[in-house]
Chain A
Amino acid sequence: MVTQIMSDTDHDDAGTTAARGADGDVLRVTGLTVEYVTDGDPVRACADVTFTLRRGEILGVAGESGSGKSTLITALTRLQRPPAVTTAGSIVFQPRDGGAAVDLVTASPRALRALRWTSLSIVLQSAMDALNPVMRLGAQFADALRTHDRSLGNDAAWARAAELLATVGISGDRARSYPHELSGGMRQRASIALALACGPELVVMDEPTTAVDVVMQRQILAQVLRLRRTLGFAVVFVTHDLSLLLELADRIAIMYAGRIVELGTASELYDDPRHPYTRGLRDSFPPLRAPLRRLTGIPGTPPDLRRPPSGCPFHPRCAARFEGCDTHLPELVTKGGHAVACRLHDPTQRPQPAPGTSTGGAR
């Protein structure tokens, strides 16, 4: 049993890529920059964000409040609203059926509408944002289903709604309920089922379980993983809870001040975090079982993006900073699939060239 799960999550490339076409990537994001344009200086809440998402993969995005996680999520699904403006970059979506790739940044509203629900969908922190409070659950599902399959009759759509609710552990007869008649956890699971209703290839989730209990959280996430195994969708999962992502995600991107500062597998980030911020973040989560030691968190406070620090945005809080960190912006450099934007790990920037060592430490 365990080995089968391991192969599902860890060797996706080998298995699913072959089965689902030549291209193993569902999304390629390059240089994505999003600004909030208000009266004062624009706030650059996503700066030069670059990553790829593999088919069926769960990519976690972690970072503290205000680091740009929600901005990224809404930009990816093109659900952003003014004053947010995408000022640079591309988001290339590659459909599973081998159809032409679409750049979501330049796609027309009509093209985007055609992709929504069937190809990409979104789950938000508050299920109430996704569910219509004055419509029965089943009717909302039926609407979504029928926009994308006009041949589907009303009864068939309601029957399918009941099936979908059952996949998230809500009994089918609840399809007749209004959202307020369900508990918070049930509503959140219903909104996940709704996001999955039309078999999307990509689901983005912004703090989908932050408002629910840990027990309910575990149950919801177990369902998501189980459904992913059968349906094969990829997930971008945003949360501030790194400890949760370490268990859930295949790979994790760490955001700080609107930038991805590190990206790697869960075990790379846990066992060998390279960015001083990632290390600090990891050490902000006390263990549940491992021996306790005193942890210190990260001194200082997150930056104000209206006045971002010069150079490396983390330098005012960084214990490892060295000459030049306050003036030089480190680039995201990938080595063996593990990417980090810190001058300590950039051979051209390191204080003293240390020949033969792969990772430089502050000395």
Chain B
Amino acid sequence: MTATTVPAPSAPGAPAPDTPVLEAVDVTKHFEVRSAVGARSVVRAVEGATLALHRGRVVALVGESGSGKTTLARLLAGFYAPTSGEIALEGVTVRQRRGRVERGYHKDVQIVFQDPFGSLNPLHRVRHNLERPLKLHHGVRGRAELDRRVRELLERVALTPTEQFVDKFPHELSGGQRQRVVIARALAVEPKVLLGDEPISMLDVSIRLEMLNLLDRLRTEDGLALLYITHDIASARYLCDDIVVMYAGEMVEGGPKEQVIADPQHPYTRLLVESSPDPGRGARDRAALFDADADGLGEPPSLIDPPSGCRFHPRCPFAMDVCRTQAPPRTDLGDGRWARCWLHQKTQENE
């Protein structure tokens, strides 16, 4: 699962190999909303997010519901313009005009949503759904060539024998099959980056593994850069290389997956990992899990009026005075790990 791909020889003029394919640098997204009584307020959905996606690597983005994961994915996909900060594709800042990126952008960056049904055209057969991007982005013409490319795409997502699927309508397919068509359609564009926003969470349990294995293959065989958004830390561990954790619109921790899961450095990450089901947990650990502090039932924070200082402080068992007043800076912990938490800042100062 962790096999790293050998980077393909760079084409002339291609950016240096360590340039991320897609990058968010200090990106913020605020939404202006109106309440029922007409008062304006601002939802601070994403604040100062920095993230880099590399060829052949998978970054998992995990975190609380409403923490800004989808918003960040949509920013990366060019669906929203950042309020501040920038998105860069192969080192070049992405410009938007009237809230839109150029169409060429979507040739390189594709996004797959949670609901495979909503994203396919229900009136058209699988064939049509796949031919459209081939014509649009690659100008493929001619029946024979289109047929060949469609067949190839279906084979890549293991919808075989392909003749059983090309002429089906989306509603004639199971959820897993539909989601594979969605992925095939994204691949038709031959993107460099695939952003998956909970791509498997609506699928049947028994089919999820196949999808994870498919995504893994795309990364190893085609060198795709992948962002995998999920609530399921165990599946993130299965697929990804690095994990980034979001809480209340901010990135609070990141690093290589095994270290982040085995030894979380941010108190929220710790809560998240400890709360995640683990089929392999021993009976004793299990009992202790459910015996946690009864009063610890914190509520997710408001993003309109987020907590001062560290946004996690109202729920944090380690909160100190400084946590209540000042936002913690990002502390580098070595080996690609970092956390945004005063506990680590203090430790470093003391050394």
A161 to chain B, nearest CB (A): 18
A–B pairs, 18, beta carbons within 8 Å: A183-B299, A213-B64, A214-B275, A218-B274, A219-B275, A226-B290, A247-B278, A247-B281, A267-B283, A286-B209, A286-B238, A288-B234, A288-B276, A288-B278, A292-B237, A295-B213, A297-B207, A301-B176
Quick check: which of A18-26, A36-44, A236-244, A322-330 contacts chain B, the rest being far away? A236-244
> Which B residues, 193 to 246, have Cβ-Cβ distances below 8 Å to chain A?
204-210, 212-213, 231, 233-235, 237-238
Quick check: which of A2-10, A68-76, A193-201 contacts chain B, the rest being far away? A2-10
A221 to chain B, nearest CB (A): 6
A138 to B24, CA, bound (A): 47
Let me know if A54 is at the binding interface, CB within 8 A: no
- Cβ-neighbour of B279 out of A64, A169, A282 (below 8 A): A282
Q: Count residues on chain A whose CB falls below 8 Å from chain B CBs.
A: 56
- Cβ-neighbour of A214 out of B175, B204, B272, B287 (below 8 A): B272
Pair A289/B280 contact, Cβ less than 8 Å: yes
Contact with A along B260-272 (1 / 0, CB 8 A): 0110000000011
Let me know if A223 is at the binding interface, CB within 8 A: yes
- How many Cβ-Cβ contacts under 8 Å join chain A to chain B? 159
Pair A246/B289 contact, Cβ less than 8 Å: no
A216 to B283, CA, bound (A): 21
A137 to chain B, nearest CB (A): 16
> Which A residues, 294 to 332, have Cβ-Cβ distances below 8 Å to chain B?
294-299, 301-302
Pair B261/A288 contact, Cβ less than 8 Å: yes
Contact with B along A213-252 (1 / 0, CB 8 A): 1111111011101100000000000001111101110000
Closest to B281 in A: A247
Pair A288/B280 contact, Cβ less than 8 Å: yes
A288 to B289, CA, bound (A): 15
Let me know if B174 is at the binding interface, CB within 8 A: yes
Pair A219/B297 contact, Cβ less than 8 Å: yes
Q: Count residues on chain B whose CB falls below 8 Å from chain A CBs.
A: 51
Closest to B202 in A: A65
What chain B residues lie within 8 Å of A223 (beta carbons)?
294, 297
A15 to chain B, nearest CB (A): 16
A102 to B280, CA, bound (A): 40
Closest to B315 in A: A215
Closest to A223 in B: B294
Pair B290/A222 contact, Cβ less than 8 Å: yes
B318 to chain A, nearest CB (A): 16
Pair A6/B283 contact, Cβ less than 8 Å: yes
Closest to A217 in B: B275
Decide if the interface of chain B is mainly helix, strand, loop or mixed. Answer: helix
- Cβ-neighbour of B291 out of A1, A242, A285 (below 8 A): A1
Pair A65/B272 contact, Cβ less than 8 Å: no
On B, residues with C-beta under 8 Å from A are 1-2, 64-65, 174-177, 204-210, 212-213, 231, 233-235, 237-238, 261-262, 271-281, 283-284, 286-292, 294-297, 299-300
Pair B206/A281 contact, Cβ less than 8 Å: yes
What chain B residues lie within 8 Å of A219 (beta carbons)?
275, 292, 296-297
Pair B290/A225 contact, Cβ less than 8 Å: yes
Let me know if A186 is at the binding interface, CB within 8 A: yes
Let me know if A284 is at the binding interface, CB within 8 A: yes
Pair B297/A169 contact, Cβ less than 8 Å: yes
Pair A218/B279 contact, Cβ less than 8 Å: no
Let me know if A153 is at the binding interface, CB within 8 A: no
- Cβ-neighbour of A292 out of B1, B206, B207, B295 (below 8 A): B1
Let me know if A31 is at the binding interface, CB within 8 A: no
A275 to chain B, nearest CB (A): 13
Pair B209/A212 contact, Cβ less than 8 Å: no
Pair B231/A213 contact, Cβ less than 8 Å: yes
What chain B residues lie within 8 Å of A222 (beta carbons)?
289-292, 294
Pair B288/A287 contact, Cβ less than 8 Å: no
Let me know if A290 is at the binding interface, CB within 8 A: yes
Let me know if A280 is at the binding interface, CB within 8 A: yes
Let me know if A51 is at the binding interface, CB within 8 A: no
A350 to B297, CA, bound (A): 52
B224 to chain A, nearest CB (A): 19
